[in-house]
């Protein structure tokens, strides 16, 4: 049977995404039922870029499924520092593990990884490209909080140029009915043209704006993002743009009562800590949802069958 990878969220059909979210719901309801589902299986987490949530939630998910974890969080401590290629590293690790989650600063590295070995590869973030397992956590959060994925009015705010979580979530939501998009960013960090063309091609309604204040009353979901220092070549540009949007209690007071605030995290100061107490703040729920949906993802790619 051919192996499955997850490089972009569109590697899964909409039905498969929905089934994975259903499986995550069942895991949350009855975690003990799945506690040995990955006994004797190993996950390799290969992180060439820093991470807190993604790496540790994959690792925690695998341990809770009864499996084991190997890997690295600093490629400089491995033979990568001697010049080993992604291709060779993946071929080697596939001798030791059953499934790989890889994060890399270069766009396309996860695709190369998947084509270098015969075990499933999960893209845990490749440069400013894609972050599909975050997208699954985001979709689960929207579905749990709003009860649907169709007919959502969602605003993406901040760094839409380099924000891989934004790119992947747009790819996913374009496949649901009647989703309307607000793209809120400074001129220098607008969504890449090829994604806007994709949105137009899919018949989606989208609005590009600089104003968070004007957009917020319209939204069901506000998805805030960090301006990512590590993606800038020029520190001056980063300093000039980093505080363009700061969500505080005053701005949130103009939002609908049932709007939710999401953020893939880490945040720097684009959401004031005082917002955390507002019942609409769901970014720490996103983190929690990430663990069970990654369990569902691991089980699906390992072709585990439910009794
Ligand atoms: N959301 C996310 O990718 O967080 P980490 O960088 O901490 O993994």
Token pair of 184 as six digits: 């809120």
pLDDT confidence of residue 232? 66
From the number of C-beta atoms within 10 Å of its C-beta (0-12, 13-18, 19+), residue 36 rates as exposed
- pLDDT digit string (tens) for 160-209? 999 999 999 999 999 999 999 999 999 989 999 999 999 999 999 999 99
Residue 164 C-alpha to ligand 1 middle, in angstroms?
A: 11
Query: CA of 41: how far to CAs of 7, 38, 66, 196, 305, in Å?
Result: 21, 5, 8, 41, 15
From the number of C-beta atoms within 10 Å of its C-beta (0-12, 13-18, 19+), residue 257 rates as exposed
- Which band of pLDDT confidence, cut at 50, 70 and 90, is reported for residue 158? very high
54 CA closest ligand 1 atom index = 8
What predicted TM-score, i.e. pTM, was given to this entire model?
A: 0.96
265 CA closest ligand 1 atom index = 1
Q: Which of 264, 286, 288 to mutate to test the pocket of ligand 1 (most atoms within 8 A of CB)?
A: 264
125 CA closest ligand 1 atom index = 3
C-beta of 51 in contact with ligand 1 (< 6 A): yes
Strands laid side by side in the 42-47 sheet: 68-72, 42-47, 99-104, 121-126
Query: Is pLDDT at 229 greater than 90 in this prediction?
Result: no
Residue 160 C-alpha to ligand 1 middle, in angstroms?
A: 16
C-beta of 266 in contact with ligand 1 (< 6 A): yes
pLDDT confidence of residue 123? 98
Token pair of 206 as six digits: 């989208």
Domains of the chain in start order, with CATH, are 9-131+288-301 (3.40.50.1370), 133-287 (3.40.50.1370)
Please name the helix (run of DSSP H) or strand (run of DSSP E) that holds residue 222, with its range, or none: strand 221-224
Distance CA 128, CA 165 (A): 8
**What average pLDDT does this structure show over 94-111?**
98
């Amino acid at each position: 049977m051919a192996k499955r990878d997850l490089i972009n969220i569109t590697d899964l059909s909409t039905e498969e995404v929905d089934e994975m979210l259903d499986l995550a719901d069942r895991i949350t309801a009855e975690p003990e039922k799945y506690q040995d589902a990955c006994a004797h299986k190993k996950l390799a987490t290969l992180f060439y870029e820093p991470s807190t949530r993604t790496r540790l939630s994959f690792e925690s998910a695998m341990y809770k499924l009864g499996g084991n974890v190997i890997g690295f969080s600093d490629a400089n401590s491995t033979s990568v520092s001697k010049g080993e290629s992604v291709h060779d590293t993946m071929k080697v690790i596939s001798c030791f593990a059953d499934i790989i989650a890889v994060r890399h600063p270069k766009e396309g590295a996860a695709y190369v990884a998947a084509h270098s070995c015969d075990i499933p590869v999960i893209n845990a973030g490749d440069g400013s490209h894609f972050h599909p397992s975050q997208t699954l956590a985001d979709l689960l959060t929207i579905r749990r909080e709003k009860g649907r994925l169709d007919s959502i009015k969602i605003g993406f705010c901040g760094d839409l140029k380099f924000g891989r979580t934004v790119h992947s979530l747009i790819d996913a939501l374009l496949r649901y009915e009647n989703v309307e998009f607000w793209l809120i960013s400074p001129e220098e960090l607008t969504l890449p043209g090829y994604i806007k063309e994709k949105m137009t091609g899919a018949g989606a309604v989208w609005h590009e704006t600089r104003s968070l204040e004007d957009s917020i009353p319209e939204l069901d979901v506000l998805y805030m993002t960090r301006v990512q220092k590590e993606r800038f070549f020029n520190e001056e540009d980063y300093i000039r743009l980093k505080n363009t949007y700061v969500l505080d209690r005053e701005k949130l007071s103009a939002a609908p009562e049932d709007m939710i605030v999401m953020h893939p995290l880490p945040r720097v100061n684009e959401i004031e800590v005082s917002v955390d107490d507002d019942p609409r703040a769901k970014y720490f729920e996103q983190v929690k949802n990430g663990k069970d949906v990654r369990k569902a993802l691991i089980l699906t790619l390992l072709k585990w069958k439910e009794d």
